[in-house]
Amino acid sequence: MCPDNTHAKKQFIFPADDIHYPGQTNHDACFIPECVRQYNGEPLYILVAHWCLLQQNWVQRSQISEAFHITARRASYLMSYLRNKASRVVCVCRRQTLSNKA
């Protein structure tokens, strides 16, 4: 249980053309950034791939989460899917080990 409620779903209100409804009914709708709206109708992972390409730099899950108004966990899942399973996407990954500051 998370006492600070960091995993709670955030409620957003979007104009109708800014919302992406995934094909899977177990996934929530999400916001589509303006720079990738021309790809509306594509699966979310394709929208994320196009958005990442437009950033012209390494991206982190927090950036994807913020841009698409999704949870960090869902953004992490999308990154993993792009890295491992997406045949329509060519991906370059950089792994970085973070020091434990506990």
pLDDT at 71: 93
Q: Which amino acid is at 64?
A: I
Model confidence, pTM: 0.70
Q: Which of 7-16, 22-31, 72-81 has the lowest mean pLDDT?
A: 7-16
What is the per-residue pLDDT across 39-66, written as a single tens digit (0 to 9) for each? 887 888 899 999 999 999 999 999 999 9
What is 13-81 written as a DSSP string?
---GGGEE--SSTTS--EE--GGGGGGBTB-HHHHHHHHHHHHTS---HHHHHHHHT--HHHHHHHHHH
The greatest distance separating any two alpha carbons of the chain, rounded to the nearest whole angstrom, comes to 44
Domains of the chain (ranges, CATH numbers):
17-84 (1.10.10.10)
Instruction: Identify the CA nearest to 81 among candidates 63, 69, 93, 66.
Output: 93
